[in-house]
Amino acid sequence: MTTTVGAMTTTLTGPVLFKAACPDCRGSFELASDALRLAIGATRRTTFYSFTCPDCGSAVRKPAGERIIELLTGGGVRTLRVQGG
């Protein structure tokens, strides 16, 4: 069973993998929950998820909407709550 929210795909059978794409090298790959970090700040600008591109090593940061936050936290991604935005 697969649930798709925007560009993110979670496979509910087996390990949770999140589809991600790198804006630098345009690579597309699947990341396990421990490869992602979610930061929740006071505003949308400080609420984002980040990961390191396995292809080029670039640090990628993308805005996280409510559905993405739900998906990532549900998938066991480490969440950091940022005080003061």
Total residues contacting Zn ion by CB under 5 A comes to 8
- Residue among 55 and 70 whose Cβ is closer to Zn ion: 55
We find the least distance from the C-beta atom of residue 12 to Zn ion, in angstroms, to be 27
Of 74, 82, 77, 85, which is closest to residue 12 (Cα–Cα)?
74
Contact of 76 with 38, CB cutoff 8 Å: no
Give the side-chain half-sphere CA count within 13 A for 80: 13
Q: Which residues contact 30 (CB under 8 A, 6 or more apart)?
A: 17, 18, 19, 20
Q: Which of 22, 64, 71, 77 binds Zn ion (CB under 5 A)?
A: 22
- Contact pattern from residue 39 through residue 78 relative to Zn ion, giving x for each residue in contact according to CB under 5 A and a dash for the rest: --------------x-xx-x--------------------
We find the least distance from the C-beta atom of residue 24 to Zn ion, in angstroms, to be 4
